[in-house]
Structure 1
Amino acid sequence: MQNSLEFANSISTHDLRVLGINEVAYIKPQESDGQVYYTIHAADGTEVARVPEREVAVVTVRQNNMEPASIH
C-alpha cells in the first residue's frame, strides 16, 4: 500500500491537468488594443470563452456548474 507521499509522487502531469476539468474554470484578465477582457479556461488550459467583464466570466462559469478560479 502506498503512503500519501508515494501516491503524490506517482501522479503524472497529465493527471494534474485533467484533475477538476469538469469542476473548475480559470478566469484570466487579458488586454488587447488598450481594452481589458477576461478569458475563461478549462482546467487543462483550453480557452473556452472571452467576455468583457470579470463578473460576466464568474456568472458564466457558475451557470455551467463549475467553480471559478482567478489567474493573476
Structure 2
Amino acid sequence: MNELTAVRELSPQDFLLLGVNDLAYVKKASHEGKEVYLVFSADGTQIATMADHDIAFAAVRQNGMEPMSVH
C-alpha cells in the first residue's frame, strides 16, 4: 500500500490524531476587550490563553510542539 492510499483510508478520527502530539495552533482572539492568543492542540482542544503572540509560540515550543498560526 502506498502512502496516498494509506491516507485516503484514514477514518475521520484517525485523521484528527495526526500530529496531535507534534502541533499546536495559535489563534488571535479578543477577550474582555483585550487581544489574546489562544493555543489549541491538533485535535482542536484549547490548551492555553496567552497575552502575547511570541510568548504563545515560545510556550508551544517549550512543550516540544511546533506552533502554527491560524487566521
TM-score (norm 1): 0.88
CA shift, 1:9, in A, is 1.9
Provide the identity percentage: 38
- What letter is aligned with 1:53? D
Residues 50 and 10 of structure 1: CA distance in aligned 2, closer, same or farther (over 3 Å):
same
Aligned alpha-carbon RMSD (Å): 1.2
How many corresponding residue pairs? 71
- 2:12 corresponds to: 13
CA displacement 1:2-61 (0-9 Å, x = unmatched): 344432221111111111111000001111232110011110000000010100100000
Unaligned runs of 5+ residues in structure 1 are: none
- 1:46 corresponds to: 45
Segments ≥4 residues shifted beyond 6 Å: none
- 1:24 corresponds to: 23
TM-score (norm 2): 0.89
- What letter is aligned with 1:18? L
Larger-gyration structure (1/2): 1
- 2:60 corresponds to: 61
User: In structure 2, how many angstroms separate the alpha carbons of the residues matched to 1:44 and 1:27?
Assistant: 13
